[in-house]
Amino acid sequence: MIKTTYPPSILQYIPFFFVIWSDDLLTLSEIAVVKKIIDEDQNLSKKDRETLNSWLNTAQPPLDTEIKSWQRAISNSGIKLVESDNHPLTSFSKKLISQNGSEHIFNENLSAIEINLGIQPNHYHHLFEVEVVLEKTSHFYDPKEIDQIFKGTYHREIDEFRDALSASIFSWEIIQNKEEFRKKVLSQVQYLAKTGYGAMAYPEAYGGTGNMSLYATIFENLMYVDGSLTVKFGVQFGLFGGSIQKLGTKKHHDRYLTAIGEAKLLGCFAMTETGHGSNVRGIKTTATYNKEQDNITIHTPGKNDNKEYIGNALHGTMASVFAQLIVDGKNHGVHAILVPLRDSENRLMPGVRIEDNGYKLGLNGVDNGKIWFDQVKVPRENLLNKYGDIKSDGTYYSDIKNPNKRFFTMLGTLVGGRICVAKGALSGAKMSLAIAVKYALQRRQFNDNLKIQEDLIMDYPSHQLRLTPAIAKCYVYQVTLDSLMKIYSDDSITDKRKIETQVAGLKAIITWFANETIQECREACGGKGYLLENRIADLKGDVDIFTTFEGDNTVLLQLAAKGIMSDFNTEFNSAGFSAVFKLLGTQISDKLVTINPLYANKVDKEHLYNPKFHQHAFDYRTRRLTYSAAMRIRDYIKKGVPTYQAFLKVQTHLIALGKAYSCELAYNTYLQFTETIEDKKNQELFQKLGCLFALSEIREDASWYLEQGYLGGTKSKAIRQRVERLSTEFRPHIEVLVDGFGIPDHCLTAPISR
């Protein structure tokens, strides 16, 4: 029998009040929850009710001696707290008064406090001096259901592909020699080609299914096997084959696509040059039409004009070479021409020189190289002529008369590649998070003198805060990229400029996020994360380059910002400025109102968790940055500063705008998606993850919001606390959340994840 001064009617509330006051959980809205439970408890006397309500007075909190007496009542009970109970704290309270034979007065509604205040094991692990029967993870959510939500329409095909990855050829191993590594990766690509996965995005006539979205999903799942395989697969079937599919016409498709899909014709995508990376329009390689011979001469004119960092360069026999097309002395801009690199005996063709790029930070299973062309002649038919052609009479013709529009239409073919790059990087982050979480659910470290064993590192709030928001971001970014790929794959949308702007920004923020997350996971796993066998080190090296290939992130964010400011106006892309003045007219008439101080410091849970607040915060940031950037540029122009120089002066501003726009786009896309989830339980889970994403993003840019007066110090602090709180609330479900990524068990080979 417990000897205490508290009657059972009050004793049952003691564990809750002890957690509340020891862990600083109370806000006004949460006080209201507790008061409601007390007010509706018919077994409380007037005096009991007054006592309990007095303990909810934040202006005059309970004395330390009172709180210590609560602790004694709990510690002396001898009761175990069982985490696997549906509501552990409520069950503990019931057992507490049952010892007094008073279970008949127990208030079952106490569980509402546990639920509404989000009380989790973290809130009492280090408070209760009782034995806690630990539960590594909750099974309230089903990871298969989460994975199913992500897979959507193609669940059967995705499952079949993941099963196919269990073949021995895909077994992961440490290979330090690049020649051996490349040989293995090539064999894997050829294996995938034989099973039909290489041609997935091509039309049925060429062995495919015409399904670009499914191809992108296959690409991202390959990251769970190996980064080099993923990139080699993307170069062969996505970039090389995709350039022929998107820029070529039927004659090219008939001649090449089937062989490419079967990996019988290996090829390169030769765009980047040593002297020109992101500025595709400025590349120096020339493709000069010779009317007398009816052929095209491909030539690398200068020292740094060679093609650089070209994947498949050592294995490829043909390349899609991007060059300045010159017809009858006139430069018609960048076009793609198919150029043979090697003959049937695998010898380099005359005029072609290729050098190995050598060892890299990662992706050493990919054969990157440099390519030079010295007056290499190819037939006129090798011009990929969907958007620009040389007719039989030797004249140039294009349906798109505006050369700028033609250039950006052709570059629109890169959008699919950029989505895939972002998806691949995201898979690297997901893989790292899965490994780090599973390790944290096994690794124990530190304790106090009263505990038999050390604590799981996943139970430390600091560990939750470093991993959980990243998991939420993975959910948001996955949904966003899937949505964009669906739009990009819609052939009825011929003008891809808007989605090019969107993908440019998202590719940047997601690949940066992936690298930051992988590094965080490496550190979260300590020395074990540094071992090659545990995969994170390889992911770190492999995903690093994703920030600069398919477009340098800093450049892409400026591209996105210019697209936003011009409202996707083509004239802006040709350095015209009328679009900005048009934008200024609408922005000035739609004034950005001063934020009400009451709003800037509103901290109740209902407001901070409300998607309307998140949307308003993101929209405000994007509009404010757009308006202020345009005003700054206009002021420079009025002073006589050339347009190009005006943009350089606001370059960092444009980057901030690109990030803000991309974040808002991702959140709004995700929010719309959650409304389509039919199962209420899973819908609420996804919405809560969206909330954590939004608050994390606002918290990370709190300095900007504070500068603008959008947030007050009180609200900024409350958001920080809510991010920590949500991270803790997800702790029981953390393994389920990473299992929901759908990473096959046979791919999750890191020993520390087992």
What are the CA-CA distances from residue 484 to residues 386, 506, 522, 615, 730 (Å)? 24, 10, 30, 19, 28
Q: Which two tokens stand for residue 148?
A: 């199913």
752 close to 172: Cβ distance less than 8 angstroms:
no
Token pair of 145, please? 């259901």
- Is 550 a catalytic site residue? yes
Q: Computed from CA positions of residues 29, 35, 36, 37, in that sequence, does the dihedral angle turn out positive or negative?
A: positive
As beta bridge partners, residue 238 has none
Quote the CA–CA distance of 740 and 750 in Å, as a whole number. Answer: 18
Cα 667 to chain center, whole Å?
A: 11
Query: Which among 220, 550, 697, 729 is annotated as catalytic?
Result: 550
**Per-residue tokens: 250:** 């039927």
Helix/strand/coil (H, E, C) string of 310-359? Answer: ECCCCCCCEEEEEEEEEECCEEEEEEEEEEECECCCCCECCCEEEEECCC
Q: How far is 377 from 734, CA to CA, in rounded Å?
A: 59
Return the bridge partners of 552, or none.
none
CA distance 39 to 375: 89
618, 621, 627, 630: CA torsion to nearest 10: -100
Q: Which of 533, 434, 337, 500 is nearest to 741 (CA)?
A: 434
Helices 651-674/611-638 angle, 10° precision:
150
Q: Which distant-in-sequence residues (6+ apart) come within 8 Å of 680 by Cβ? A: none
**Beta 307-310 vs 286-290: how paired, if at all?**
unpaired
- Here the tokens at position 272 are 């980047």
b/e code 212-228 from CB counts within 10 Å (16+ = b): bbbbbbbbbbbbbbbbb
Phi and psi based region of residue 379 (left: phi greater than 0; alpha: psi -120 to 50; beta: remaining): beta
Strands 81-82 and 132-133: parallel
| Residue-level length of the chain | 754
CA torsion 621-623-627-632 (nearest 10°) is: 30
Helix or strand run (H / E) with residue 389: strand 389-390
Query: What is the DSSP pairing of strand 396-397 with strand 389-390?
Result: antiparallel
Q: Which letter does DSSP use for residue 257 in this model?
A: I
d(C-alpha 338, C-alpha 523), whole Å: 46
Residue 497 gets the label, from left (phi > 0), alpha (psi -120 to 50) or beta, of alpha
Q: Which of 514, 574, 569, 559 is nearest to 657 (CA)?
A: 559
Helix %, strand %, coil % for the chain, to 5? 60, 10, 35
Report the alpha-carbon distance of residue 185 to residue 169 in Å, rounded: 9
What does residue 296 show for φ and ψ, rounded to 5 degrees?
A: -120, 135
Closest among 267, 172, 223, 112 to 533, alpha carbons compared: 172
Query: How many other CB atoms are found less than 10 A from the CB of residue 329?
Result: 7
Number of C-beta neighbours around residue 99 at 10 A: 15
From first CA to last CA, the distance across the chain in angstroms is 44
Left, alpha or beta for 26 (phi > 0: left; psi -120 to 50: alpha)? Answer: beta
Active site residues: 550
